[in-house]
């Protein structure tokens, strides 16, 4: 977006303190294009008339993954739709893949909308858990191939993201910490499995001790937030065992990192039970990298309280 100087730096103008602020500004301008967010994870937020039609990020499954991994649509059906969408408009932009899937009878329009909307909100949630880098708006980008139309109001998106973060925090698992935890079934899970739901059993089967909530979401074709909620509920039923954080190799990453702004919000919620004093350097660095302002603004965690408990622990 060329008209507004400084949108590409997080610190510059009052118009863009954060990605949510930027999205609100772009909504007023009825902007069509993309917002590219760099960070861990980064992502692309697609906008049409300022409404969010898709969020693509390594942090959460895209519509394609939700449809294919859940078994809702077969690989052959998907490939056929892609071929039809590509050939529908020779020379021009490929046709809307979602419309083709509906036209081919692979999925109903209403159901596809629910999947597209779920992917938008889950992608925004995943971006909010990441360490934000910079962001910039780009007008020229191609529209998303499969998207929610009309899109979501940016204000509603950040409200829902805030609800998700605060719900998990209220349940005792601040999502930024939960995101780093790798899970395997607990010793008790074997006997309790008969009483768990099919959904929770799928998680138990997929939880190899190597996977985070995000990895489970990709493996199962579900949303990251939904998997996290299930993990918290299963944890309450003592079905899960958290793998201890691994000792990183002696040499920490030499790659550039975004320095944390403000005091590190160290939290001591119950889920990631790391033993204090045994934390590897790398893990500590990863935890303190939590931004003061998430990419899609989750409310800041009560830093002061956490600092206090940190002092008490010493």
Partner 1 sequence: MSSQTTPTALEAELKSLRERVMGIAESVVATADGLLVAADTATVHAESAAALSAAMLGLGQRTANEVGLGGLRDVVTRCNGGYTVVLAIGDRALLMILGDEGLDIAALHRESPATIHRLAELLGMTPADLTTA
Partner 2 sequence: MRALERSLSAVLDSPGVIGAVVADAVSGLGHASVGEHRLLGTAAELAELVGLVDDGLRAAGAEGEVESLVVSTSRHHQVVQLIARQGDPLLLATVLDRTRTNLALAVRQTADQARELLA
**Residue ranges that bind partner 2, judged by CB under 8 A:** 66, 70-72, 108-111, 113-115, 117-118, 121-122, 149-150, 160, 163-164, 167, 195-199, 221-223, 225-226, 229-230, 233, 237
Which one, 155 or 209, has the nearer CB to partner 1? Answer: 209
By the rule CB under 8 A, 279 interacts with partner 1: no
Report what 273 binds from partner 1, partner 2, none; CB cut-off 5-8 Å by kind. none
Which one, 67 or 181, has the nearer CB to partner 2? Answer: 67
SS3 of 102, please?
helix
Contact pick of 8, 113, 202, 215 for partner 1 (by CB under 8 A): 215
The answer to whether the beta carbons of residues 157 and 128 sit under 8 Å apart is no
Beta partners for 52? 47, 152
CA distance 69 to 82: 17
CA distance 224 to 214: 5
CA distance 9 to 133: 9
Contact pick of 13, 94, 270, 282 for partner 1 (by CB under 8 A): 282
Site for partner 1, residues 76 to 105, rule: CB under 8 A? 78
Contact pick of 210, 238, 273, 308 for partner 1 (by CB under 8 A): 210
**Is the bond leading into 41 cis (omega within 30 degrees of zero)?**
yes
- DSSP for residue 268: -
By the rule CB under 8 A, 218 interacts with partner 1: yes
Which one, 94 or 237, has the nearer CB to partner 2? Answer: 237
The answer to whether the beta carbons of residues 20 and 152 sit under 8 Å apart is no
By the rule CB under 8 A, 117 interacts with partner 1: no
By the rule CB under 8 A, 70 interacts with partner 1: no
CA distance 311 to 151: 46
By the rule CB under 8 A, 268 interacts with partner 1: no
CA distance 244 to 269: 15
Instruction: Find how far residue 144's CA is from the centre of its chain.
Output: 18
CA distance 129 to 124: 9
Which one, 1 or 219, has the nearer CB to partner 2? Answer: 219
CA distance 192 to 198: 12
Q: How many helices (H) and strands (E) does the chain have?
A: 13, 6
By the rule CB under 8 A, 288 interacts with partner 1: no
Report what 300 binds from partner 2, partner 1, none; CB cut-off 5-8 Å by kind. none
Site for partner 1, residues 237 to 256, rule: CB under 8 A? 246-249, 251, 253-255
Give least dist CB 306 to partner 2, A: 26
Contacts to partner 1 by CB under 8 A: 38, 40-42, 57-62, 64-65, 68-69, 75, 78, 208, 210, 214-215, 218-219, 246-249, 251, 253-255, 282
């Amino acid at each position: 977006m060329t008209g507004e100087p400084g949108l590409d730096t997080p610190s510059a103008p009052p118009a863009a303190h954060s990605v949510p602020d930027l999205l609100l500004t772009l909504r007023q301008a009825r902007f069509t294009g993309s917002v590219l967010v760099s960070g861990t994870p980064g992502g692309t937020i697609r906008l049409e008339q300022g409404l969010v039609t898709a969020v693509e990020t390594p942090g959460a499954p895209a519509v394609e993954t939700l449809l294919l991994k859940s078994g809702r649509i077969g690989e052959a059906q998907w490939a056929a739709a892609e071929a039809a969408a590509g050939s529908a408009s020779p020379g021009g932009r490929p046709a809307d893949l979602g419309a083709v899937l509906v036209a081919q009878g692979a999925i109903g329009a209403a159901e596809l909308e629910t999947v597209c909307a779920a992917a938008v909100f889950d992608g925004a949630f995943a971006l909010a858990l990441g360490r934000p880098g910079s962001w910039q708006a780009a007008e020229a980008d191609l529209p998303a191939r499969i998207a929610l139309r009309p899109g979501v109001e940016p204000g509603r998106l950040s409200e829902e993201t805030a609800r998700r973060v605060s719900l998990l925090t209220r349940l005792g698992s601040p999502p930024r910490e939960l995101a780093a935890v790798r899970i395997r079934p607990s010793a008790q899970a074997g006997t309790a499995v008969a009483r768990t739901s099919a959904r929770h059993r799928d998680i138990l089967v997929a939880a190899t001790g190597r996977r985070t909530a995000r990895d489970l979401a990709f493996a199962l074709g579900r949303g990251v937030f939904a998997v996290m909620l299930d993990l918290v509920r299963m944890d309450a039923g003592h079905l899960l065992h958290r793998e201890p954080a691994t000792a990183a190799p002696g040499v920490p990453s030499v790659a550039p990192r975004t320095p944390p702004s403000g005091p590190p919000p160290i939290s001591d919620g119950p889920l990631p039970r790391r033993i204090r004093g045994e934390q590897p350097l790398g893990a500590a660095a990863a935890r303190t990298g939590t931004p003061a302002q998430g990419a899609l603004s989750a409310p800041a965690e009560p830093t002061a309280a956490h600092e206090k408990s940190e002092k008490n622990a010493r």
